[in-house]
Amino acid sequence: MDAAALRAAQAPLKEKYRSDPTTARIPTNARGDYRDSEVTATVDGFAGPVRAGLHSAAGGDGTDACSADLLLEAVLACAAVTLRAVATSMGVEIRDARLAADAWWDARGTLGVDRQAPIGVQDIVVTLTLDTDADDATLARLATATERYCVVGQTLATPPTIRVERA
């Protein structure tokens, strides 16, 4: 897709959302269950079911997806697609890319060993290494726009509300 095709695809949507902002509020969801008896949860994802479980550092056996890894995969996917859309819109050619998301988490916080230890994934860094002729100023603009428009990255600024209800 080139910049003209992207603009053509997005133009009617942008006009619709400008003229009727309520149509821009798009529902999204994820569903899952405890279909297995272990300490796991199976989430029915776009590419099929994903069984998430405890990381080996938290008592798991390492055979299930770790929620921290799933989070990084979501951040990386969102940032990479966002950057590609921004680059397309700007007319920046990307011949190839290497994509990475790195972070850490402290098992002491997760396991309640130390109340001072952080809980959650910390210091997420997404690195998008591009094979491109774009200059450094353009790469900086791509980074700024990607950070601004990355839905998953922006979502991390506000923790989710967690409700537990009786069936």
Residue 47 sits in the same domain as residue 74:
no
- Tokens in use for 164? 């537990």
Q: pLDDT by residue for the chain (167 residues), tens digit each?
A: 899 999 999 999 999 999 999 999 999 999 999 999 899 999 999 899 999 999 999 999 999 999 999 999 999 999 999 999 999 999 999 999 999 999 999 999 999 999 999 999 999 999 999 999 999 999 999 999 999 999 999 999 998 999 999 99
Is there a domain that residue 124 lies in? yes
Is there a domain that residue 82 lies in? yes
Is there a domain that residue 12 lies in? no
Domain that holds residue 123: 67-155
Single-letter residue type at 147: E
Cβ 108 vs Cβ 120: under 8 Å:
no
Helices (H), the chain: 3-19, 67-90, 107-110, 136-149, 151-155
Residue 100 sits in the same domain as residue 141:
yes
pLDDT digits (tens, 9 = 90+) for 50-92: 999 999 999 999 999 999 999 999 999 999 999 999 999 999 9
Domain count within the chain: 2
